[in-house]
Amino acid sequence: MKNLLLLLCLGGLFLPDGFKEKQLQHERVSTAYREKHLILEKLLQGKGLSLQHLELYLRAFKHEKTLEVWARNSPEQAFQLLTSYELCARSGTYGPKRQEGDGQIPEGFYVIDRFNPKSNYHLSLGINYPNASDKLLGHPKPGGDIFLHGDCVTLGCLALTDDKIKELYVLAVEAYAQGQTQIPVHLFPIRFDSPAFAQVKKKYAQNPKLFSFWENLQTGYFFFEQHKTLPTVTVNSTGNYVVE
């Protein structure tokens, strides 16, 4: 109990809903806080940010095998790139996930919708796949249970090392505890302004449906690249994303 109270003091104010307190009751989470709290605090301070006012945005790229963590202190600020993690395991190929068991990592606009401190893959953060677009465009059984997790293995999820999922999990707990109950996660096949994208397009030249889907994703990608703030993303009746 003494360690738990210490961790609560380190991490910020006690919250009425007890979310952070409940998370810290799990051994893996409390260990992650002991190992990573001060490291993350210094990292944020170097950007003029703090754990006590944290908002997060995550985006991942299949081709580059990279997960970017962006942060800011308030909605009025632009996001700053806080750190990047290597996706240490990958399954499937370019293109969205459309069916249960296809091994694909999704592509699209998502949010973190659950925290699993007792994951089979050390710690995990659930992604709200299938979203409204996936349900309209995918198979009647699109699958589910897509996570950001540790253990460096995957079949359709985004895998980090245990060391890095500890950092990401602590950051996500802090952001959620400060009131950011919707942490955006944007999943892309590749950086759309990368020279490598020309080669990917050539490889999939006979798949106009995939090209159309990627053109739809690019609207969100380039909005963030230009403004460093997040667009409002909705889904229309045909399953396409509408970015504003």
For residue 8, is pLDDT > 50? no
Confidence of residue 89 (pLDDT cuts 50, 70, 90): confident
What is the reported pLDDT for 101? 94
For residue 11, is pLDDT > 80? no
DSSP, residue by residue, the chain = -HHHHHHHHHH-PPPTT-HHHHHHTSHHHHHHHHHHHHHHHHHHHTTT--GGG-EEEEEEETTTTEEEEEEESSTTSPPEEEEEEE--B--S-SS---STTS-PPP-EEEEEEEEEEEETTEEEEEE--S-HHHHHHS-SS----EEEESTT--SSSEE--HHHHHHHHHHHHHHHHTT---EEEEEESS-TTSTHHHHHHHHTTT-HHHHHHHHHHHHHHHHHHHHSSPPPEEE-TTS-EEE-
What is the reported pLDDT for 90? 84
* CATH assignment of the domain containing 186: 2.40.440.10
Are 176 and 24 contacting, i.e. CB atoms less than 8 angstroms apart?
no
Sign, CA torsion 186/188/192/196: positive
- Closest by CA to 143, choosing from 131, 153, 151, 154, is 131
Confidence of residue 27 (pLDDT cuts 50, 70, 90): very high
The answer to whether position 237 is within a domain reads no
Section 62-90 average pLDDT? 95
For residue 5, is pLDDT > 70? no
What is the reported pLDDT for 4? 41
What is the reported pLDDT for 76? 86
What is the reported pLDDT for 95? 96
Q: How many domains are there within the chain?
A: 1
The answer to whether position 234 is within a domain reads no
Q: For 169-224, what is each residue's pLDDT tens digit? A: 999 999 999 999 999 999 999 999 999 999 999 999 899 999 999 999 999 999 99
The answer to whether position 133 is within a domain reads yes
Q: How far is CA 51 from CA 79, 149, 172, 182, in A?
A: 14, 21, 10, 17
Are 24 and 7 contacting, i.e. CB atoms less than 8 angstroms apart?
yes
Range of the domain at 138: 19-192
The answer to whether position 201 is within a domain reads no
The answer to whether position 241 is within a domain reads no
The answer to whether position 97 is within a domain reads yes
The answer to whether position 149 is within a domain reads yes
pLDDT more than 70, % of the chain: 93
What is the reported pLDDT for 198? 94
Structure tokens at 219: 């609207």
What is the reported pLDDT for 92? 92
The answer to whether position 181 is within a domain reads yes
Section 85-106 average pLDDT? 94
Confidence of residue 19 (pLDDT cuts 50, 70, 90): very high
What is the reported pLDDT for 14? 40
Q: Which amino acid is at 45?
A: Q
Average model confidence (pLDDT) across the chain: 92
Active site residues: 149, 157
